[in-house]
Amino acid sequence: MKISEKLKQVNTSISFEFFPPKNEEGEKQLFNTIKDLEKLNPTFVSVTYGAGGSTRDRTRNIVKKIHEETSLTVMAHLTCIGHTKKELIEILSDYKNIGIQNILALRGDIPLGQEESEIYKKDGCRFANELVKLIRTEFKDWFSIGVAAYPEGHPESPNLERDILYFKKKVEAGADFAITQMFFDNRYFYEYLNLCEKEGINIPIIPGIMPITNFKQIRKFALMCGATIPEDLVKKLEKVEDKPEEVEKIGIEFATKQCEDLLKHGVKGLHFYTLNKSKATIEIYNNIKHLVK
Ligand code: FAD
């Protein structure tokens, strides 16, 4: 079923992101996680794609397996850089043939040290709005299309206002909803929603929640994507950096408070970056479920 339709049917959507594992062991762990999280009755789950096509088959196979072997609605991420339009259409046609109706249309991060001509194929899509347009042109309304949004601005953008104008281009090209980059200070998100509303952007914008379970790893991710980790949280985590259980406890407490505040502000949903693990996400969900309507 299309996510755009499911979002109309629920007050608060709960969803989970996974990445395609590299080996059989990882796949077994992922499907254990999926089994645990399926019990929470999520609106949808999604599977990431390696920019340039590095996980092309793995993403496709995990998406297919979730679609065929679970009760879940699944969305495939697809990045356009490094692909020609012909390749993108091939990938999308295959998804259509196996019954997948949800795509997160992305540009992908620019890989370091690659030739421009490899990154931007001659007959390719340079930005995500072009991929959204390609999907709508070739497949009309078969797919529900999600796009990425950045409450603190995308790191390559000169400023937030410009970034929102580019976000609007994705909406005008036919995106149905957006999922945000992780953020840890809800004030960025609320201000972002205000600015989007002023620009006339009226698709659902679902906040992306990253439970901190490994501080070193998340600090690195946050630095790369320009997400600010509040000073007092950094100080708390630094003190216990080498004690994984304490890091996870603080991470769960923080994400619980963050989600409670978002739910009290009437957000359309919560999208959890699970990193293929279920424990932290389930604990956070159990802490907030009384607020999920
Ligand atoms: P775009 O919307 O194309 O924006 C990219 C940059 O170009 C921005 O700075 C924007 O302001 C600017 N821009 C946009 N349009 C124009 C234009 N027409 N002219 C000039 N400038 C423009 N990456 C992966 O590799 N695989 C994944 O599975 C994946 N999943 C993600 C899921 C979510 C929810 C999010 C938030 C991000 C995800 N990413 C993923 C990361 C994403 O690919 C990167 O952030 C990438 O750098 C930008 O992708 P985008 O689709 O937002 O690009």
pLDDT band at 82 (very low <50, low <70, confident <90, very high): very high
Q: Does the CB atom of residue 166 touch ligand 1 within 6 A?
A: yes
CA-to-CA distance for 206 and 181, rounded, in angstroms?
10
Digit-coded pLDDT (tens) for 4-21: 999 999 999 999 999 999
Nearest CA to ligand 1 atom 32: 148
Instruction: Give the burial class of 233: count Cβ atoms within 10 A of its Cβ; 0-12 exposed, 13-18 middle, 19 or more buried.
Output: middle
Which residue ranges form the domains of the chain, and what is each CATH number? 3-291 (3.20.20.220)
Atom of ligand 1 at shortest range from CA of 59 = 28
Q: What's the half-sphere exposure (Cβ side, CA atoms, 13 Å) at 74?
A: 27
Q: Which residues of 209-221 are buried (b: 16+ CB within 10 A; e: fewer)?
A: bbbbbebeebbeb
| C-beta 248 within 6 A of ligand 1 | no
- The pLDDT score that the predictor gives to residue 112 is 86
- Residue type, position 7, single letter: L
Distance CA 43, CA 40 (A): 9
CA of 106 to the centre of ligand 1 (A): 5
Helices assigned H by DSSP within the chain: 3-9, 24-38, 56-69, 85-97, 116-119, 128-139, 160-172, 186-198, 215-225, 231-239, 244-264, 279-288
Q: Which two tokens stand for residue 211?
A: 């439970």
**Residue 225 CA: which ligand 1 atom is closest?**
45
Answer for the pair 259, 270: CB distance below 8 angstroms, yes or no: yes
Q: What is the mean pLDDT of the chain?
A: 97
Contact status, residue 246 vs residue 212, Cβ threshold 8 Å: no
Residue 33 CB–ligand 1 contact under 6 Å: no
Q: How confident is the model at residue 114 (pLDDT cuts 50, 70, 90)?
A: confident
130 lines ligand 1 (CB under 6 A): no
Q: Assess contact for 232 and 257: CB atoms under 8 A.
A: no
pLDDT tens digits for range 213-262? 999 999 999 999 999 999 999 999 999 999 999 999 999 999 999 999 99
CA–centroid distance, residue 230 to ligand 1 (Å)? 24
pLDDT of residue 262: 98
168 lines ligand 1 (CB under 6 A): no
Q: How far is the CA of 75 from the centre of ligand 1 (A)?
A: 17
What residues are labeled active site?
17
Measured from the CB, is residue 273 less than 6 Å from ligand 1? no
- Given a cut of 90, whether residue 156 has pLDDT beyond it is yes
- Measured between alpha carbons, how far is residue 204 from residues 34, 93, 192, 196, 293 in Å? 25, 26, 13, 11, 16
Of all protein residues, the one whose alpha carbon is nearest to atom 24 of ligand 1 is 108
Closest C-alpha to 106, from 135, 144, 74, 77: 77
Place of tokens 């996510």: 3
Atom 47 of ligand 1 has which residue's CA nearest to it?
109
- The string of pLDDT tens digits covering residues 170-217 is 999 999 999 999 999 999 999 999 999 999 999 999 999 999 999 999
Looking at residue 85, its pLDDT comes to: 98
Residues paired with 262 in a beta bridge: none
- Considering only residues 118 and 189, tell me which one the structure prediction assigns the higher pLDDT: 189
**What ipTM does the predicted assembly reach?**
0.99
Asked if 17 contacts 271 with a C-beta cutoff of 8 angstroms, the reply is yes
Where does the pLDDT of residue 113 fall: very low under 50, low under 70, confident under 90, or very high at 90 and above? confident
- Looking at ligand 1, which atom is closest to the CA of residue 170? 2
Please state the atom number of ligand 1 nearest to the C-alpha of residue 181.
Answer: 36
| Percent above pLDDT 90 for the chain | 96
Answer whether residue 293 shows pLDDT above 90: no
**Alpha carbon of 148 to ligand 1 centroid (Å):** 6
Pocket test for ligand 1, best of 15, 80, 166, 272 (most atoms within 8 A of CB): 166
